[in-house]
Chain A
Amino acid sequence: MTAKRSVTVTVNGETRTGEAEPRMLLSDFLRDTLGLTGTHVGCEHGICGACTVHVDGEAARSCLMLAVQADGAEIETVEGLADGETLHRLQQLFSKHRALQCGFCTPGMLMTALDLVRHRPNLTEAEIRSGMAAVLCRCTGYEGIVHAVAEYASGGER
């Protein structure tokens, strides 16, 4: 029962299969087994939020799921946002509002913000500040992030 198992997930619309020990985290499976290193790992105990991805359409910490638990799931990662060379609207707004500096937290920020905007219509600034507190940024002081998410939310985009 500790032996490796086959795990098949749909990542950003593509079906991918890999082997994972039961104790392998989804974050490590995405990065090390599938080579999708856009998902970052920071604290690896659910505090920093850098590893946030969408599992079956909702944001979740990939460091707090086992890869075997994701078998059959649809996963979206930051790599799925851009369309070729064209950045996703939220990525463009992060650039416009200087919502990143070192960029380490940005994958988690983007995936968290997209879920937050989808989850709660007519977001207030206070709700954006509270919601984005789910991801730790040590560079920006959050102002740019809040502005980017607010402009994205006000665009009626879901």
Chain B
Amino acid sequence: MKPPRFDYHAPESLDEALDLLADSGPDARILAGGQSLVPALNFRLARPSVLIDINGVAELAGIEDAGERLVIGATTRQRAIETSETVARRVPLLHEATRYVAHLPIRTRGTLGGSVANADPAAEDPAVAAALEATMVCRSRRGERRIAAAGFFIDVLTTALEPDEMLIAVEFPGIPDGAGAAFAEISRRDGDFALAGVAAQIAISNGRVADARIAACGVGPAPLRFRDAEDALLDSACGPEAIEAACDAVAASSDPHDDVHASAAYRRQLAAAMARRALNGARARAGGAA
């Protein structure tokens, strides 16, 4: 038997799950899609005393169009996001990025909430959440907290969630009219963790950039949002010079590390290259272009 022993609970309601989480102490772990946690169990890198399986909590899964926002439940499968026409139309950046998440059989089980709460620095979903300033809806028996992406992702595999709190949904702002979005990523093999991935969304109004969002995965301890690069684009005509200035800012603000897959210097170059791809893609899709 690979995983260590644990007490297993499969609550059917959110209240029941939150009670279990509050009463089980800090060693309890929540099991969502299991595509990161179960490997860690198999290696015995994770040894939770209690496992709370939330796959049976029906209210945590689903995609709800709430006017200006799209609310996606924590246990919504990445495969459901990939095949959702609503997500493709309302949050196209998330839709495109999801196809880069591992492989189809992993996305069958993997969940948006699991990826965001796990906060792997190379994961795509946290980078999209950072770029779009998504709101993480967190619940505990004590009540609800709504945490903006900028305050949610703290470090490698570390978020602002308290031990008794559960991420229950992520709220994404819908893409504004006339805006374009694109995601670009490079890895050694299709489906591997990203060496560098960049999420970009640009809104162009009267030939000028009215809003720009740029964030990356794989080049820092947490998803990074690049305010300097965004500033380089704002009010410009989004021409080649402005895009190059933004790419330079992405490289300068990246915080990559050396590992067996790539050196920090190479990752920094890749961040700029992926930013160029993503920004050119987003500009091409934006309406109201110069």
Confirm or deny: B146 has a beta carbon within 8 angstroms of a beta carbon on chain A: no
Q: Which of B4-12, B153-161, B234-242, B273-281 contacts A (4 or more CB under 8 A)?
A: B4-12
Residues of B near A134 (CB, < 8 A) are 102-106, 191
A64 touches B39 (CB 8 A): yes
CB distance from A122 to the nearest CB of B (A): 15
A61 touches B42 (CB 8 A): no
Please name the residue on chain A nearest to B189 by beta carbon: A133
Please name the residue on chain B nearest to A120 by beta carbon: B104
Which of A44, A60, A68, A116 is most buried by chain B, counting CB atoms within 10 A of its CB? A60
Confirm or deny: B190 has a beta carbon within 8 angstroms of a beta carbon on chain A: yes
B8 touches A68 (CB 8 A): yes
A23 touches B6 (CB 8 A): yes
B3 touches A23 (CB 8 A): yes
Confirm or deny: B43 has a beta carbon within 8 angstroms of a beta carbon on chain A: yes
Which of A2, A28, A46, A115 is most buried by chain B, counting CB atoms within 10 A of its CB? A46
> In chain B, residues 1-46, which have Cβ atoms closer than 8 Å to a Cβ of chain A?
1-10, 31, 34-35, 38-39, 41-43
Which of B10, B41, B43, B108 is most buried by chain A, counting CB atoms within 10 A of its CB? B108
Confirm or deny: B53 has a beta carbon within 8 angstroms of a beta carbon on chain A: yes
CB distance from A26 to the nearest CB of B (A): 10
B108 touches A60 (CB 8 A): yes
Confirm or deny: A42 has a beta carbon within 8 angstroms of a beta carbon on chain B: no
For B103, give its contact among A25, A44, A45, A49 (CB under 8 Å): A49
A115 to B103, CA, bound (A): 12
Confirm or deny: A66 has a beta carbon within 8 angstroms of a beta carbon on chain B: yes
With A23-B1, A64-B38, A115-B104 as contacts: A69 and B6 at CB distance below 8 Å: no
- Given known contacts A45-B38, A45-B42, A61-B35, what 17 new A-B pairs fall within 8 Å (CB)? A1-B50, A2-B5, A2-B6, A2-B8, A23-B8, A55-B108, A55-B109, A58-B105, A59-B108, A60-B108, A61-B105, A66-B34, A112-B105, A115-B104, A131-B103, A133-B189, A133-B191
A/B interface sample: 7 pairs, CB < 8 A = A22-B8, A23-B1, A23-B2, A59-B108, A66-B31, A112-B104, A134-B191
